[in-house]
Amino acid sequence: MNLALLFTADFISTDTVRLSDRRLEHLRSIRKIAVGDSVPVGQVNGNIGAGRVTNLTAHYAELHVSLDQAPPQPLPLTLMLAMPRPKMFRRTLQTCATLGIKDLWLINSYKVEKSFWQTPWLQEPALHDNLVLGLEQARDTLMPKVHIRKLFKPFVEDELPALLAGKQALVAHPGSAQPCPVHLPGPAALCIGPEGGFTDYEVDKLQQAGCQAVHLGQRILRVETAVPVLVSRLFDGCL
């Protein structure tokens, strides 16, 4: 936790918060805070700054907060991700938030096992908690939006073309002829397949919707590695 993310319910006055959960535990046991210390804080979807500890009891910490700096720039990327297996999904979700991805679409694919959609990590409170962990890692405050689309064809035919408008649209597909571009000048949309990749039919459909198929080289990467590799390659100036 490189920053404590603050929510409306934390504020007991316009410039004072009271923390009593995981954040208090972290501030106590890892940062070993005392009254008078300052720690990095940020208001969800707002500024970042410092919180000075004004009161510390067994049950809560009160911080006087001053939020005067903008959070890091969002990444100009719409990411479509074939739903990963649950353990990998949780880590990938945090990584997406840490990297500054604000628009994440979890989509279906032939090689996505049906059981993956049953994971409790997809429920709203778990999604929220893991996005918060990812934001706090990066000292960011802007909450990503996560969209769940369990049917491939309707998504690709009915929604995807509008999502791609004005963006450079790519589908990462090992074996494609074109290498993935580097250092894009503008916003992008990127589709990443499941373990084993999108099927040829799915790649065709994504191409029909406007995506260009690109490869990352000879190596096949797990999704949790492919996301940072691709983001770094597309936007090396923006992290």
Residue among 50 and 239 whose Cβ is closer to a second copy: 239
Q: Which residues pair with 146 in a beta bridge?
A: 104
Q: Which of 140, 144, 155, 203 binds a second copy (CB under 8 A)?
A: 140
> Nearest distance from residue 239's CB to a second copy, in Å?
4
Part in contact with a second copy (CB under 8 A); list of ranges 53-61, 133-141, 145-153, 202-210: 133-141
> Nearest distance from residue 16's CB to a second copy, in Å?
26
> Nearest distance from residue 215's CB to a second copy, in Å?
10
What DSSP designation does 45 have?
T
CA–CA separation, 196 and 132 (whole Å): 30
Residue among 57 and 225 whose Cβ is closer to a second copy: 225
Contact between 61 and 18 (Cβ < 8 Å): yes
Q: Which amino acid is at 75?
A: L
Q: Does 43 bind a second copy (CB under 8 A)?
A: no
Q: Which of 20, 55, 208, 225 binds a second copy (CB under 8 A)?
A: 225
Three-state secondary structure call for residue 199: coil
Q: Does 99 bind a second copy (CB under 8 A)?
A: yes
Footprint of a second copy on residues 171-210 (CB under 8 A)?
182-183
Residue among 140 and 202 whose Cβ is closer to a second copy: 140
CB atoms within 10 A of CB 92: 26
CA–CA separation, 110 and 204 (whole Å): 13
Residue among 146 and 230 whose Cβ is closer to a second copy: 230
Q: Give which of 186, 164, 183, 173 is closest to 214, Cα–Cα.
A: 173
Residue among 70 and 148 whose Cβ is closer to a second copy: 70
Part in contact with a second copy (CB under 8 A); list of ranges 18-26, 120-128, 137-145, 153-161: 137-145
CA–CA separation, 152 and 82 (whole Å): 9
> Nearest distance from residue 233's CB to a second copy, in Å?
5
In whole angstroms, what separates CA 194 from the centre of its chain? 17
CA–CA separation, 179 and 44 (whole Å): 37
> What are the structure tokens assigned to 112, written together?
């996505």
> What are the structure tokens assigned to 170, written together?
């790519």
Pairing of the two strands 178-179 and 212-215: parallel
Q: Does 100 bind a second copy (CB under 8 A)?
A: yes
Q: Which of 44, 126, 143, 238 binds a second copy (CB under 8 A)?
A: 238
Q: Which residues pair with 65 in a beta bridge?
A: 51
Q: Does 138 bind a second copy (CB under 8 A)?
A: yes
Binding stretches for a second copy (CB under 8 A): 2, 72-73, 95, 98-100, 137-140, 182-183, 216-222, 224-225, 228-233, 236, 238-239
